[in-house]
């Protein structure tokens, strides 16, 4: 499959600058993926620059034709149980919508209204400006493209949180120990999150260490904690799906298979909140038992 890609002056200068200063091509590819380039296009562009340099014929045009192989992803059966409903220990979850690629489902009744209110009340006093991981340094930074507030609960932090951890792990068909702690986010009017992936890209030491400890993230479940007056949809631009936030409902999606391949079609974003506010809680699952960097640091300090 051939694809024509436009190369603007900023992209050309960025690739040339980083190759000149000795960056490995894989580092550039991973950095471009973080900036929401299709993985195959990122690889094709960087490889074309590298090959042109080796041949002594630098690329000068403003377009480049890439021959892209079809991504080899999707051979696994979905982890999410089949059918029109999913049985958890304490309730039955109704499936409102399924998408085959990426594996995606909209679920009804994941949390009750009182549970949503309780989670908001517990999270509100602990909210901090949301951060993202810098792809080069691995440091947490406040980013303009994610202007929300958030906080994390520890796994099984309280009996109530433990109940939610158990239910979500059953829905996601993963051991509870593979789950990261629940993250609660609040978005006010105008707040949004730019298109991004939930899987980790090993472009910095922090991500590489996390992947070594716990494996890749394999699936996400986002549950809405309130009805949003207007806006705030979870948008999957690669498949044209937009999920409207409704209290207690959730959207589940998978993006890493048994061959450790990640699915670029899982790209998603939070649309701007137009009116009111949006509260949501996210559960991420890993390939292995989740061990946080904080836990490792505390263990080292106590030894």
pLDDT at site 142: 55
Tokens of 227: 């009805």
Which residues make beta-bridge pairs with 283? 221
List pLDDT tens digits, range 223-237: 999 999 999 999 999
List pLDDT tens digits, range 67-79: 766 556 766 899 9
CA distances, 86 to each of 79, 83, 91, 110 (Å) = 12, 7, 9, 10
Q: Centre a 10 Å sphere on the Cβ of residue 6 and count the other Cβ atoms it contains.
A: 9
| Region of 190 on the Ramachandran plot (φ > 0 left; ψ -120 to 50 alpha; else beta) | left
Tokens of 167: 């239910």
Question: How do beta strands 250-254 and 104-108 pair?
Answer: antiparallel
- pTM (two decimals): 0.75
């Amino acid at each position: 499959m051939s694809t024509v890609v436009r190369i603007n002056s900023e992209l050309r200068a960025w690739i040339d600058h980083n190759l000149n200063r000795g960056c490995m091509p894989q580092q550039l590819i991973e950095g471009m993926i973080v900036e929401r380039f299709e993985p195959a296009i990122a690889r094709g562009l960087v490889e074309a620059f590298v090959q042109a340099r080796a041949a002594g014929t630098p690329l000068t045009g403003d377009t480049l034709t890439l021959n892209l192989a079809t991504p080899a992803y999707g051979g696994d059966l979905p982890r999410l149980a089949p059918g029109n409903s999913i049985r958890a220990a304490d309730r039955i979850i109704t499936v409102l919508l399924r998408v085959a690629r990426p594996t995606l489902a909209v679920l009804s009744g994941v949390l009750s209204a009182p549970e949503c209110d309780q989670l908001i009340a517990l999270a509100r006093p602990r909210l901090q400006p949301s951060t993202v991981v810098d792809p080069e340094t691995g440091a947490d930074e406040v980013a303009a493209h994610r202007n929300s507030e958030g906080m994390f609960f520890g796994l099984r932090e309280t009996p109530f949180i433990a109940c939610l951890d158990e239910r979500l792990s059953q829905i996601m068909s993963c051991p509870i120990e593979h789950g990261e702690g629940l993250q609660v986010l609040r978005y006010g009017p105008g707040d949004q999150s730019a298109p991004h992936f939930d899987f980790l890209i090993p472009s910095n030491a922090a991500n590489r260490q996390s992947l070594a400890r716990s494996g890749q993230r394999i699936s996400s479940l986002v549950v809405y904690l309130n009805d949003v007056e207007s806006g705030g949809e979870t948008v999957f631009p690669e498949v044209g799906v937009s999920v409207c936030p409704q209290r207690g409902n959730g959207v589940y999606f998978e993006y890493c298979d048994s061959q450790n391949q990640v699915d670029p079609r899982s790209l998603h974003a939070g649309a701007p909140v137009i009116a009111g506010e949006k509260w949501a809680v996210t559960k991420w699952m890993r390939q292995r038992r989740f061990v946080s960097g904080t836990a490792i640091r505390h263990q080292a300090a106590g030894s």
